[in-house]
Amino acid sequence: MTGNRGQCDAYGSLVGPFLRRIQKPAGDLSRHFASSFYRELSNAEEVAGVLARLTADEFEKLKIRQAEHLQHLLAPDLTLEEHLLAAQRTGRIHALVGVDLLWVIEAYSMYQRELQHLLGPLLTGKLEERELVTSIVSRRILVELQGQVSSYRRIEMQTAQVSSRIEELIQTTANFSDLIRGAMAAIGSVDGEISAFFARVDANRELQVEGSYGAAGQRYHRAMMSGSAPKISISPDKPEGQGPGGRAWRSGRIVVSDAWALDAATQPWRAAGDRLGFRAAAAVPLTDEDGHSIALLSLYSAWPGCFSTMRMGSFLADVQRALSHAVRRRSDAPVLPLQDRQHYRRMLVERKVAMLYQPIINLQDGSLQKVEALARLVAGDGVLVAPGHFFPAFGTDELLELLQLGLEQCCSDCEWFERQGIYTTFAVNFPAEGIGDPRYEKAVFHALKGARLGPSRLQLEILESRERSLRDGQRSEFLQRLRDAGIRIVEDDLGSGYSSLLRLDQYGFDEVKIDQDLIRGALRRPRRALEFILYLTRMAHAFGMSLTVEGLEDPGMIEAAAILGADFGQGFGIARPMPASEIVPWHQRFRYPVDTLHPVTALGALSAYLLWDMQRSAGFSANGANDAQILNRERMEHFVRRRGLQDSELGNLLDVHLANLGEMDGHHRDTVISLLTALWFEEISTRDA
């Protein structure tokens, strides 16, 4: 060994005797060495900034650990494997607290110089032995540096991978709840013992936490909800609005707290954060196109300075850009506090689900066509929770569980209906996120297998939402497999968006349902609502599909939808959602009030007039009126006679118009529509009174 000092091994039994000679005296001087080393380091501005983030107690502990590190470095029985692992742990800490890698390299040069000063007086043996010990120490310092560099590289790679993971989530996740939970988990997986919150403002302009990551994050949220720590505010007039979160929200810029325990702005949350081990924080506002905040990410780390490294600065900027765009695209997602989300998920896990059924009738004869199965959660007091409250809490996995429970109940209730003499079809909502997911396909066929509810008795209503990212044709193939099995596929909420019209062309649905928000518009603009029904019905029929009108809440809308040619109707004016046990008595007492040949409501008459006017414009010829025009003329004449309006302004105008097949004055046409609309408003006010 002494003949090959340049190739000496720094570990093993041969080096032990040389290091044992200096082990105790070096250990005795280790605390002095640590203090001297940090005094030298403090002269460097960047390192001084890192050290300034520590409390006095933390700095004293750091010097103790540095003294222990020296003893570890000089340990006679230290192995290469043990040393590399220890160096990697140290490198991780340096990377997390914000020590630049170049400064790590510079610090080890400084460390080696200081160590030589320390060891010089202790190496009193032969020159050859002194050179050998110096060589061993230098080799170990090099190993130390290599181990630390590997940790820096690993953390850099991991952070880049998390950025890619978030981008992938944004591209492939259609469900808002899944996106937020996935993004929180991805961010929380970045090295640094990170806890995370996602929050948006509610209608009262108060921040509501909607997602969290990490046990410490959950405990912190509970502390804020219990009042033992204040909630984060966006108001500049409150102390709790002066922290990183409030400042970030108002500025639209990332705000970092390098030293949680020393930052005056964190004072309102200091006690709770200290108990949870928070040492640094970052507030990342997600913004709209104008730079106004629409959501807030609050991140916390167990390491001071964690969010001030170049690596984390770049990462946070990437997260801000990507998630801002993603949240903007999902701006319609309602704000739902985390405690409510967790409560609804627990109810689902506990199978507190009940199915209600809303009848859907044939609008031409009033017969029961099918029932739509509508899921409700059952609260502890028996109160039913509507989907509008709990759907935002559910991700793809929860929606799958809800579908499975719903199908299970439908199959059971179907058997009960049949024993009561009612043979009907069940329509079940199918989340668009489930299209292409084999778990959903399996759930449907598993529920049908062995049940008396055959595939032809099941309809799946595809809810309008952002669907999973699938290759071209994959959605159609998925739906076609269900159709091939005999299940009918219905597009829900036709007319709610441009995408629904694209889906109508792409997927070849068997039936469609008109978005009920269009029908509710009849309360303000009845002509527009009726025109929607008319043209969407004609479009659906042109595609070979039947059409259901939702939201039929009064006799006028029911009669109008029937006259305009819609196939089926659903709404409170026909029946409210009800338990299975109430379907039979409803069916026994229900009487359909509509005779499409003899309208009795102003809205029914207006529908006939719009049809007549459209047919007149499209089918005018020298041969006179066609059969459809004659039918609609008779409908209006019946309405006028029944209401005794023959000598009214409306009656006189209709006499002229119905007899005139040529061009008519648009003003007179608008007057007829206005008079019929006014009559309908009178009907509504009389009924409500």
3-state secondary structure of 231: coil
Which one has a higher pLDDT value, 280 or 525? 280
pLDDT score for 123:
67
Q: Identify the pLDDT of residue 498.
A: 47
Nearest C-alpha neighbor of 444 from the set 466, 464, 421, 428: 428
pLDDT (tens digit per residue) in 113-125: 777 777 777 666 6
Burial of 310 (0-12, 13-18, 19+ CB in 10 A): exposed
Residue 654, pLDDT above cutoff 50: yes
| CA 431/CA 406 separation, integer angstroms | 13
pLDDT score of 660: 63
- Between 142 and 128, name the one with better pLDDT: 142
Alpha helices in 420-520 (DSSP H): 438-448, 474-484, 498-507, 516-520
Whether the CB-CB separation of 279 and 306 falls below 8 Å is answered with: yes
The model's pTM:
0.85
CATH topology for 175-333 is Beta-Lactamase (3.30.450)
Instruction: Judge whether residue 3 has pLDDT over 50.
Output: no
Q: How confident is the model at residue 42 (pLDDT cuts 50, 70, 90)?
A: confident
Q: Which CATH number fits domain 5-158: 3.40.1080.10, 3.60.15.10, 1.10.10.970, 1.10.490.10?
A: 1.10.490.10
Segment 554-576, tens digit of pLDDT: 899 999 999 999 999 999 999 99
Q: Compute the distance between CA of residue 180 and CA of residue 326 in angstroms, rounded to an integer.
A: 10
Class of domain 340-589: alpha beta
What's the pLDDT band for 6 if we cut at 50, 70, 90? Answer: very low
Residue range 124-138: mean pLDDT, rounded: 76
Rounded Cα–Cα distance for residues 593 and 604 (Å)? 12
H/E element, 250 = helix 244-251
State mean pLDDT over 610-626.
69
The number of CA neighbours under 13 Å toward the Cβ of 557 is: 29
Judged against a pLDDT cut of 80, whether residue 421 lies above it is answered with yes
- The ranges assigned to domains in the chain are 5-158, 175-333, 340-589, 602-688
The candidate with the shortest Cα–Cα distance to 147, out of 80, 59, 87, is 87
354-404 pLDDT, tens digit each: 999 999 999 999 999 999 999 999 998 889 999 999 999 999 999 999 999
pLDDT at 153 over 90: yes
Question: Phi/psi class of residue 620: alpha, beta or left (left: φ > 0; alpha: ψ in -120 to 50)?
Answer: beta
Instruction: Answer for the pair 593, 387: CB distance below 8 angstroms, yes or no.
Output: no
| The pLDDT of residue 215 is above 60 | yes
Which region among 374-388, 423-437, 512-526, 672-686 has the lowest average model confidence (pLDDT)? 512-526
Look at residue 347 and tell me whether its pLDDT is greater than 90: yes
Looking at per-residue pLDDT, the higher value among 633 and 2 belongs to: 633
**Integer Cα distance of 186 and 299 in angstroms:** 12
Distance CA 141, CA 486 (A): 73
- Is the pLDDT score of 410 beyond 70? yes
Q: Indicate the pLDDT class of residue 331, thresholds 50, 70 and 90.
A: confident
Q: What is the pLDDT of residues 286-296, one digit of tens each?
A: 999 999 999 99
- pLDDT tens-digit profile of 497-555? 544 566 676 677 899 998 888 787 767 788 888 998 998 899 889 889 999 999 999 89
Which has the closest alpha carbon to 176: 494, 393, 1? 393
More confident residue, 63 or 485: 485
Tokens of 118: 């320390």
In whole angstroms, give the CA distance from residue 403 to residue 409.
10
pLDDT digits (tens, 9 = 90+) for 223-279: 999 999 999 999 999 999 999 999 999 999 999 999 988 889 999 999 999 999 999
List helix spans (H) across 13-126: 16-28, 30-41, 45-51, 56-73, 80-97, 101-119
Please give the structure tokens belonging to residue 633.
């003329």
Can you tell me the distance from the alpha carbon of 419 to that of 415, in angstroms, rounded to the nearest whole number? 6
Round to the nearest angstrom and report the end-to-end CA distance of the chain.
Answer: 107
Give the pLDDT score at 371: 97
| Least confidently predicted of 415-429, 433-447, 481-495 | 481-495
DSSP string, 197-213: EEEEE-TTS-EEEEEEE
Mean pLDDT of all residues belonging to the chain: 87
Q: What is the pLDDT of residue 451?
A: 72
The amino acid sitting at 218 is Q
Supply the pLDDT for residue 621. Answer: 47
Q: 1: pLDDT confidence band, cut at 50, 70 and 90?
A: very low
**pLDDT higher than 50, residue 38:** yes
Contact at 8 Å (CB) between 440 and 434? yes
671 φ, ψ (degrees, to nearest 5): -65, -40
The pLDDT value recorded for residue 147 is: 92
The amino acid at residue 392 is P
Q: What's the mean pLDDT in 197-218?
A: 94
